[in-house]
Amino acid sequence: MNSYQRILCATDFSEHCTSAAERAAELARLFGAELLLLHVVEYFPEQRSNEEIAPENVDPAAYREQQARASLAALARRLGEEEVVQEVRFTTRSARHEIVRFAEQQEIDLIVVATHGRHGITHILGATANGVMHDAPCDVLAVRARG
């Protein structure tokens, strides 16, 4: 069995994704692999909360990217992996599509995603995790939600 060299953890900064990131960091240390953290910003305005709305005088894309980069840096510090590659991607398509595309571009060996822990396959995995598992060019680890 070949060991993993490049591990990608896609995150939406939820608690479930933090658990997945912790598992990804653990595996990266175990295999001596490079860890990459990815956050995808989808352009679906109807799903935006008030906290994600940029102030009037600020470019919305720049605002969202700044917030995401700060959250990725905080996650990397929490994992004890401050030197980890941190990437923010914007897409007009689904997060699933962008995660798979990023994995292909970066020659990722393992993608780590969080599950939601609900019932039924789409609910258990979530639409994004389910799509990544079916379309990924590499192994995918779905980390079950705790609690």
19: helix, strand or coil: helix
**CA nearest neighbour of 64 among 55, 78, 51, 52:** 52
- Confidence band for 147, pLDDT divided at 50, 70 and 90: low
- pLDDT attached to residue 122: 42
User: Is the model's pLDDT at 88 over the cut of 50?
Assistant: yes
Using a pLDDT cut of 70, give the percent of the chain over it.
80
Instruction: Express each pLDDT in 5-18 by its tens digit.
Output: 999 999 988 888 89
User: Is the model's pLDDT at 142 over the cut of 70?
Assistant: yes
- Which of the two residues, 23 and 119, has the higher pLDDT score? 23
DSSP-assigned letters across all residues of 69-107: HHHHHHHHHHHT-TTSEEEEEEESS-HHHHHHHHHHHTT
- Which of the two residues, 63 and 70, has the higher pLDDT score? 70
Whole-prediction pTM? 0.82
Structural domains in the chain, sorted by start:
6-143 (3.40.50.620)
Residue 33, C-beta contacts closer than 8 angstroms, at least 6 positions apart:
3, 4, 5, 6, 7, 27, 109, 110
Cα separations in angstroms, 20 against 10, 39, 49, 63, 109: 9, 13, 24, 26, 16
Residue 144 half-sphere exposure toward CB, CA atoms < 13 A: 6
Instruction: Express each pLDDT in 8-55 by its tens digit.
Output: 999 988 888 899 999 999 999 999 999 999 999 876 554 555 555 656
User: Is the model's pLDDT at 123 over the cut of 60?
Assistant: no
Neighbours of 17 (CB within 10 A): 22
CA 89 to chain centre: 10
